Amino acid sequence: MASDLIDARGQALHLKALPRRIISLVPSTTESLFALGLGDRVVGVTRFCESPAQVTQLPKVGGTKDVELDRLIALKPDLVIGNVEENSAQIAEQVGGHFPLWMAFPKSVDDALQDLRDLGVICGVSGAAEEWVRRIQAARGALRPVPFTYLYLIWRKPWMAAGQDCFISALLREFGGENLLLGRYPELTLEQMQALRPQRVLLSSEPFPFSDKHGPELPGLRTHLVDGALCSWHGVRLERAFAELGSQLG
């Protein structure tokens, strides 16, 4: 039962019954909940939750970094789902003091698949979760990795990248990518990027909205625009990532 599951904080989840009023604090998890057939149980989301389209009609409880506790409490959830990457420890402490809270933190594709399975167990839809895992694994198995080195930029002024210790890096490794930066989200200069001589510099569409106009700001570097959601959203979006991302990597 869900009460036997331990989340990414090492906290056990205790539920008296299957959750019927769920609040999601993570856009990718919101998408997964609907894909698992749980949309009618989702009663609140963040303002960044935009997929599927019907979530725009749901009550908002603030952002991923600035949850409005009073709004969340008013919705009387019996389960709140967050993420260590997306939501701060302070948010987790505040929410967990009122309601059952599940905090995930997948660092690899296998972790993300387990997270889907856990959602299935917690919400009583293990069959649907296993079907999504099967579909994702099938798309994963069709990959033909080609080795390449890269930098993955997520911000401008200052330049900031996703390092090796991120889910993004783990996903791109499946395609043959070797991240040239250690750590999680290091800052770096143009000169440092040029010195690293990456085969590709990937410009993400989120959180900074990179576009074609930013390529010329990186002279001497081969840039590619990539869909940030495909690169960073764990959950059911992984099926699309494995099917579509290869064409964006150049």
Domain check: are 135 and 171 in the same one? no
Domain check: are 79 and 185 in the same one? no
**For position 3, what pLDDT does the model report?**
52
CA distances in angstroms from 93 to 4, 100, 126, 224, listed in the order given? 20, 11, 28, 39
Domain check: are 45 and 94 in the same one? yes
The per-residue pLDDT for range 29-50, each reduced to its tens digit, is 999 999 999 999 999 999 999 9
Domain end point (choices 139, 163, 189)? 139
Return the H-helix or E-strand segment holding 154. strand 148-155
Domain check: are 172 and 73 in the same one? no
**For position 250, what pLDDT does the model report?**
81
**For position 4, what pLDDT does the model report?**
74
Domain check: are 94 and 183 in the same one? no
Q: What residue type is assigned to position 124 of the chain?
A: G
**For position 172, what pLDDT does the model report?**
98
Domain check: are 157 and 62 in the same one? no
pLDDT < 50: residue spans in the chain: 1
Asked if 169 and 162 touch (Cβ cutoff 8 Å), the reply is: yes
**Which CATH number is 168's domain given?**
3.40.50.1980
CA 42 – CA 20 distance, rounded (Å): 8
**DSSP label at 247?**
G
CA distances in angstroms from 150 to 86, 172, 179, 201, 215, listed in the order given? 24, 10, 5, 5, 15
Domain check: are 41 and 129 in the same one? yes
Long-range contact pairs involving 41-44 (C-beta distance under 8 Å, separation at least 24): 41/123, 43/75, 43/77, 44/71, 44/72, 44/75, 44/77
Q: How many domains does the chain have?
A: 2
Domain end point (choices 139, 173, 189)? 139
Q: Match 């993420």 to its residue by tokens.
A: 83
- List CB contacts of 153: < 8 A, sequence separation 6 or more: 159, 160, 161, 201, 202, 203, 204, 208, 210
Domain check: are 98 and 175 in the same one? no
**DSSP label at 6?**
B
Tokens of 12: 């056990």
Domain end point (choices 139, 156, 178)? 139
Domain check: are 218 and 135 in the same one? no
Which residues make beta-bridge pairs with 42?
A: 22
Domain check: are 132 and 163 in the same one? no
> 81 lies in which domain range?
2-139
Domain check: are 65 and 123 in the same one? yes
Domain check: are 153 and 170 in the same one? yes
Which residues make beta-bridge pairs with 177?
A: 148
Tokens of 207: 């959180």
* Helical spans, DSSP H, in the chain: 27-35, 69-74, 89-96, 109-123, 126-141, 167-173, 190-196, 228-232, 237-244
The per-residue pLDDT for range 61-81, each reduced to its tens digit, is 999 999 999 999 999 999 999
